[in-house]
DNA sequence: TTGCATCAATCAATCGATTGATTAATTTTG
DNA sequence: CAAAATTAATCAATCGATTGATTGATGCAA
């Protein structure tokens, strides 16, 4: 049945996403992926053409959900810039919790500039996210809600970077934080509220308190 | 002569550092490294035991000098905690500018948890850096210099994460910042002063301004 | 319905290439 | 000479990919 075929492809993509996330593109062999997915090696090439084709398929499937989520952010005209930032932090951290394997894979791949076409696609999509946040910040400056001297671009680097550091080096951060970042339950119950509260306090301090930031 | 041997080893390490940085651990074959270094393949194993040993040697050479510098900052009893943080930011960003290829490699490797022993060793060494900063922060809290509600561990994640985000996804951040992060001259002249000023302002706001951070 | 053809799906087996590592022979050095 | 350094050649292992054979389901003709 056609449904079975789609389910199987989807299952392979699920497994591939996890294995790629854990081992990277090079480290994840087609044998490992097919083995863990419970399918014959040849099926990967049969369905996706090549290892790289499989990798791209994993990404494209996710990319679609990216773009849908994007539309709900920043378009609300009835609230303050700070409320938008808070809302964004909440949405963003939630997505990290539920997709942290993929998030890791995403920035892993982005940091290896090999496979140029793919890197360009990822960059373009992430740029839309970035532009959205930048717009919120700039609106907040214009309205006087935020300090006029803030470094918009580096604030964005802090939001994404703080999260990435934790997600992409779980071995290190688990040691630093004192609990296992890779445990889903702990991630949801302990990490999520903590980083949400932290990012809100950190950004409110920087964006809304008085300080001189003459150099830029 | 003994000096020649050390020089040759050092030359291999130089080349290996560059090739690893460009291609990652997996992508860099021992043949490529030995070829570009102009030595026989077997010399890598002769000197460093294995590919992993070579990688570790590259890593250790880089990290040791930095750790000495860091310890000197932390142990200075004549200055404030904030001055130590400022000093650390300066030292750290300088390090990133002159070693950004290696910095990228470092966190690339850390984000792949494969090669357990290697990851563990990297984690241990980085933990020493982290602990040093944590100690400065905690001392600042005790002395009343910093807000008592700050999230020490996540502040560290912000310092390292902000930098990593920029260094590890240069394609994206170059677009965001408007200039090429991979250009050494621009990195030194534009990026370094900018991120130094930003991190100082950001952290001073969070660490020293009044704010409630009840949730943690 | 029966018999035949078609086609996607799946499999074990194997391909050539490349990997990191090792050997044994050779050269250099002290 | 003896030890250390260096080499070419080769090792077994693994990689991604491809092959030809087989399966089972489907459609169609008689």
**Tens of pLDDT along B16-71?**
999 998 888 888 999 999 999 999 999 999 999 999 999 989 988 887 777 777 77
Residue B29's pLDDT is what?
Answer: 94
Residues 100-129 of A with CB under 7 A from strand C: none
CA closest to C1' of C11 belongs to A40
User: In the complex, which nucleotide's C1' lies nearest to the CA atom of residue A45?
Assistant: D17
B41, B33 in Cβ contact below 8 A? no
A18, A147, A148, A168, best to mutate vs chain B, most B CBs in 10 Å: A168
Residue of B nearest to A110 (CA): B169
With H, G, I as helix, E, B as strand and everything else as coil, classify residue B212.
Answer: coil
Contact B198 A213 (CB under 8 A): yes
A 68-97 → B contacts, CB under 8 A: none
Q: Is the predicted pLDDT of residue B152 greater than 60, yes or no?
A: yes
Tokens describing residue B92: 């750290």
| A189 CB within 8 Å of a chain B CB | no
Using the structure block, give the residue that is written with the tokens 């997709």.
A99
| A211 CB within 8 Å of a chain B CB | yes
Q: What is the pLDDT of residues A93-137, one digit of tens each?
A: 888 888 778 888 888 888 877 766 777 878 888 888 889 899 999
B193 to A71, B59, B73, B93, B94: CA distances (angstroms): 35, 27, 20, 9, 10
Tokens describing residue B150: 């700050």
CA distance A104 to A214: 35
DSSP code of residue B5: H
CB pairs under 8 A between A and B: 179
CA distance A205 to A203: 5
Which residues of chain B are within 8 Å of residue A114 when distances are taken between CB atoms? 23, 27
Residue A6's pLDDT is what?
Answer: 52
Residue A103's pLDDT is what?
Answer: 83
Contact A156 B176 (CB under 8 A): yes
The per-residue pLDDT of chain B, averaged, comes to 87
Residue count (chain A): 216
Residue B211's pLDDT is what?
Answer: 65
| A154 CB within 8 Å of a chain B CB | yes
B72 to A50, B98, B123, B131: CA distances (angstroms): 52, 20, 21, 14
| B125 CB within 8 Å of a chain A CB | no
Q: HEC states along chain A? A: CHHHHHHHHHHHHHHHHHHHHHHHHHHCCHHHHHHHHCCCHHHHHHHHCCHHHHHHHHHHHHHHHHHHHHCCCCCCCCCCHHHHHHHHHHHHHHHHHHCHHHHHHHHHHHHCCCCHHHHHHHHHHHHHHHHHHHHHHHHHHHCCCCCCCCCHHHHHHHHHHHHHHHHHCHHHHHHHHCCCCCCHHHHHHHHHHHHHHHHHHHHHHHHHCCCCCCCC
CA distance A215 to B72: 28
Residue A70's pLDDT is what?
Answer: 65
Residue A34's pLDDT is what?
Answer: 93
Q: List the B23 CA – C17 C1' distance (angstroms).
A: 19
Q: Is the predicted pLDDT of residue A12 greater than 50, yes or no?
A: yes
| B42 CB within 8 Å of a chain A CB | no
Residue B6's pLDDT is what?
Answer: 57
Residue A142's pLDDT is what?
Answer: 96
Q: What is the pLDDT of residues B97-142, one digit of tens each?
A: 887 788 888 888 888 776 666 677 778 888 988 999 999 999 999 9
**Between A75 and A183, where is the model more confident?**
A183
- Determine if strand C comes within 7 Å of the CB of B51: yes
Work out the average pLDDT over A158-175.
92
Work out the average pLDDT over A149-176.
93
The per-residue pLDDT of chain A, averaged, comes to 85
Q: Is the predicted pLDDT of residue A203 greater than 90, yes or no?
A: yes
């Amino acid at each position: 049945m056609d449904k079975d075929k789609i389910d199987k492809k989807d299952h392979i993509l699920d497994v591939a996403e996890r294995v790629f996330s854990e081992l990277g593109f090079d480290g994840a062999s087609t044998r490992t992926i097919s083995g863990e997915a419970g399918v014959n090696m040849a099926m990967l090439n049969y369905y996706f053409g090549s290892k790289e084709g499989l990798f791209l398929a994993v990404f494209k499937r996710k990319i679609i959900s990216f773009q849908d989520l994007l539309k709900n952010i920043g378009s609300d005209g009835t609230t303050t810039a700070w409320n938008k930032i808070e809302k964004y932090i909440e949405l963003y951290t939630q997505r990290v919790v539920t997709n942290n394997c993929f998030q890791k894979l995403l920035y892993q791949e982005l940091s290896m500039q090999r496979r140029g076409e793919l890197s360009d696609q990822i960059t373009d999509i992430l740029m839309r996210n970035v532009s959205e946040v930048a717009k919120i910040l700039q609106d907040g400056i214009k309205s006087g809600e935020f300090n006029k001297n803030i470094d918009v671009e580096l604030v964005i680097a802090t939001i994404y970077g703080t999260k990435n550091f934790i997600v992409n080096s779980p071995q290190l951060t688990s040691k630093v934080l004192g609990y296992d970042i890779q445990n889903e339950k702990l991630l949801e119950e302990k990490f999520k509220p903590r980083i949400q509260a932290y990012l809100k306090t950190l950004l409110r301090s920087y964006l809304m308190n008085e300080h001189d930031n003459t150099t830029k």
